[in-house]
């Protein structure tokens, strides 16, 4: 009976892990499909903030990401540079990065906790099996 309970716990934890990982797949909304001058605009659904990915022409494929104010209309690098200079001193960039990073860290912590829970339950099943057979 106890093995059935532990197996049920594993199944439930696996379903929760799958659900959490599906949730992260829908974090970014690229539905605006605005791609201009090496820039891709996207919306973080977890924080409801618009971000712009800027791919510098001579860069090795790594993007720089910046949060935008809701009324920002940016379509060139000089506009992006002035936007970052304007809001950079206010602390807006840092606060949005911190908020985004905290949510990402929370997701990873939940995911790792659930995976470790499955390992603990598996260890309990193996130990119980050894006790009953030994």
Q: Name the residue with tokens 């006790």.
A: 131
Q: How far is residue 128's CA from residue 46's CA, in Å, rounded to a whole number?
A: 41
Q: Going by C-beta distance under 8 Å and a sequence separation of 6 or more, which residues neighbour residue 70?
A: 50
With a cut of 80, say whether residue 120 has pLDDT above it: yes
Please list the helix, strand and coil fractions of the chain in percent, rounded to the nearest 5, in that order: 60, 15, 25
67's enclosing H/E stretch is: strand 64-67
Question: For 33-85, how does the pLDDT look when each residue is reduced to its tens digit (9 = 90+)?
Answer: 666 667 778 888 888 888 887 777 666 667 777 777 655 667 677 777 777 77
With a cut of 80, say whether residue 90 has pLDDT above it: no
Q: Tell how far CA 117 is from the center of its chain.
A: 21
- pTM attached to this predicted model: 0.67
């Amino acid at each position: 009976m106890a093995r059935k309970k532990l197996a049920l716990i594993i199944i439930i934890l696996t379903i929760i892990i799958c659900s959490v990982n599906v949730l992260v797949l829908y974090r970014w909304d690229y539905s605006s499909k605005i791609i201009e001058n090496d820039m891709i605009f996207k919306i973080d659904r977890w924080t409801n903030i618009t971000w712009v990915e800027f791919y510098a022409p001579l860069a090795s494929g790594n993007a720089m990401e910046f949060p935008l104010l809701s009324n920002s209309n940016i379509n060139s690098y000089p506009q992006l540079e002035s936007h970052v200079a304007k809001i950079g001193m206010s602390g807006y960039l840092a606060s949005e990065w911190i908020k985004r990073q905290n949510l990402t860290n929370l997701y990873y912590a939940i995911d790792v906790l659930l995976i470790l829970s499955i390992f603990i339950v598996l260890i309990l099943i193996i130990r119980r099996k050894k006790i009953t057979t030994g």
